[in-house]
Amino acid sequence: MIRAALIALVFAAPLAAQTQVPSSQAEISLGFAPLVKQAAPAVVNIYAKIVTQQRQRTPFSNDPFFDDFFRGFTKPQPRVQNSLGSGVILSADGIVVSNYHVVGMATEIRVVTTDRREYNARVVLADKASDLAILQLEGATDLPFLDLRNSDQVEVGELALAIGNPFGVGQTVSSGIISGLARTGTATGEGFGYYLQTDAAINPGNSGGALIDVNGDLIGINTRIISRSGGSNGIGFSIPANLVREFVNQAQQGAEEFQRPWAGMSGQPVDADMAASLGMELPLGMVISDLHPASPFAEQGFKVGDVITAVEGQVVNSPSEMVFRMSVVGMGGRAQITRLRGVEAADVLVKMMAAPNTPSADLLQMTENSMLPGLIVARINPAVILRLGLPLSAEGVVITNPGRNGARAGLRPGDVLQEINGNPVTNTVDVPTVLAESGRKVKVILLRGGQRLTLQFRL
């Protein structure tokens, strides 16, 4: 099959870490036809329908004052959006991986195979931050599927094929090479920004499609491009297969949402000046700039100023790489973290755990009869910090939902309450008590993005 064809093409297996280009015109003329015949049937077209509620426009829709006034006078109208993308079959019983931005919010999903079989599909597990979604095809059996390769073994210069449905023209194959590894902060969108880069043409509709190697194994899920025109400029990005593998594992274990280990830290890449100040010969790794007391890293003796250079032997040079590497390791167990402190390097085992929801968040929602109906507040703990993206040093009470009146007054999710009408707020139960004594005028002092703000409004 494919491996026999690869022998004819004189390609060494990826595990040998040696690939050779065709050495004769006869070998070149063989092309990728055997590879495509084997791999293409496992790549599917996805048609997703998304129903959203959209308010009717009024003459005051763009007016910052009257838009709020007329908000309740127009009824939301359902609007149907159709999304076209690709997916990759990963098991004979119909496990399919695609992008979150293709199917994550879909109300109806239809999957079509290359032999024109059609299946309804449901989302089993989806994560906006990683831009990945796992689907289950209904009634599927004996489907062709692709094997996942260890994407940490992929090398720059390897041949790669991108398979998908660009612009809805039908399944298309484009060839190229792996142009870069561990690309971070170069692609746009919701993803964490850790990608394989390829010059194989990727266009709209290729999202969720396969990036395969010369063995026909999946090395990435095509997801983003850099382009001013909207078409391929030879700079495309794929989510590495190792992260896809962890998604499939969690989906098969019945996870309702993707769980990634919590580091409880913030950091930044080590640059040349920082390396010199830390006594390092070369700038490498990520220096810890803040550490939560409940962090599993703090438990193992890590400190602010320590440099993390690797997770499970894989180099990390930025916070996004750290998040990716910990996500690939998965929940439970321990990961080997390489730490540099001064001139001393050490390998430390650290628990891969979720952000603890302790002390209790004590969620409290204001009733419809209160001054701020629908307002929801919570006590800050590590889980709340992670969910709302708060600073690691945050403490006290935070708004998770401002409610309709609170939103109009300027309150936002993530606002950390400090005072209401001069009364300090230290617990969630303080909020309804203080508001009940406030009268119609309210003065709130809060922290937003590290800045102290004062809001005054009348209810």
Active-site hit among 83, 86, 101, 327:
101
Phi and psi of 280, rounded to 5°?
-95, 145
Query: What's the rounded Cα separation, in Å, for the pair 232 and 212?
Result: 18
Residue 299 three-state SS: helix
Q: Is the pLDDT of residue 167 over 70?
A: yes
What amino acid is encoded at 327 in this protein?
Answer: S
Q: Check residue 25 and give its pLDDT.
A: 56
Last residue of a domain, one of 137, 167, 196: 137
Question: pLDDT digits over 107-129, tens only?
Answer: 999 999 999 999 999 999 999 98
Q: Is 311 domain-assigned?
A: yes
Do 346 and 403 sit in the same domain of this protein? no
Q: Check residue 450 and give its pLDDT.
A: 86
Cα torsion angle, 378, 382, 386, 390, sign: positive
Q: Rounded mean pLDDT of the chain?
A: 86
Question: pLDDT digits over 18-52, tens only?
Answer: 556 656 655 555 678 889 999 999 999 999 998 76
CB atoms within 10 A of CB 44: 30
| pLDDT tier, 13 (very low <50, low <70, confident <90, very high otherwise) | very low
Do 47 and 132 sit in the same domain of this protein? yes
Last residue of a domain, one of 351, 384, 410: 351
- Domain of residue 62, residue span: 41-137
Structure tokens at 66: 């009257």
Question: pLDDT digits over 263-313, tens only?
Answer: 999 999 999 999 998 888 889 999 999 999 999 999 999 999 999 999 999
Q: Is 298 domain-assigned?
A: yes
CATH number, position 424? 2.30.42.60
Question: pLDDT digits over 411-453, tens only?
Answer: 999 999 999 999 999 999 999 999 888 778 899 999 998 899 9
Q: Is 165 domain-assigned?
A: no
Length of the chain: 459
Active-site hit among 98, 207, 318, 320:
207
207 is catalytic: yes
CATH number, position 121? 2.40.10.10
Q: Is the pLDDT of residue 459 over 90?
A: no
Q: Check residue 224 and give its pLDDT.
A: 83
Q: Check residue 78 and give its pLDDT.
A: 65
Question: pLDDT digits over 94-110, tens only?
Answer: 999 999 999 988 999 99
Q: Check residue 233 and give its pLDDT.
A: 72
Q: Is 4 domain-assigned?
A: no
Q: Is 122 domain-assigned?
A: yes
Query: What's the rounded Cα separation, in Å, for the pair 59 and 263?
Result: 49
Phi and psi of 130, rounded to 5°?
-90, -10
Last residue of a domain, one of 105, 137, 169: 137
Q: Which has more confidence, 189 or 440?
A: 440
Q: Is the pLDDT of residue 53 over 70?
A: no
Q: Is 173 domain-assigned?
A: no
Q: How many domains, the chain? A: 3
Range with lowest mean pLDDT among 17-31, 71-85, 351-365: 17-31
Q: Is the pLDDT of residue 221 over 50?
A: yes
Share of the chain above pLDDT 70, in %: 84
Q: Check residue 183 and give its pLDDT.
A: 73
Residue 150 three-state SS: coil
292 is catalytic: no
Q: Check residue 3 and give its pLDDT.
A: 42
Across 67-76, 83-92, 167-176, 180-189, which has the greatest mean pLDDT? 83-92
Q: Is the pLDDT of residue 218 over 50?
A: yes
Q: Is 214 domain-assigned?
A: no
| pLDDT tier, 7 (very low <50, low <70, confident <90, very high otherwise) | very low
Do 124 and 76 sit in the same domain of this protein? yes
Q: Is residue 261 within 8 Å of 326, Cβ to Cβ?
A: yes
Q: Is 212 domain-assigned?
A: no
Query: What's the rounded Cα separation, in Å, for the pair 62 and 82?
Result: 27
Do 99 and 58 sit in the same domain of this protein? yes
**What does the pLDDT average to over 318-325?**
91
The DSSP secondary structure of 172-213, one letter per residue, reads: EEEEEEEEEEEE-S-S-SSS-S-EEEE-S---TT-TT-EEE-
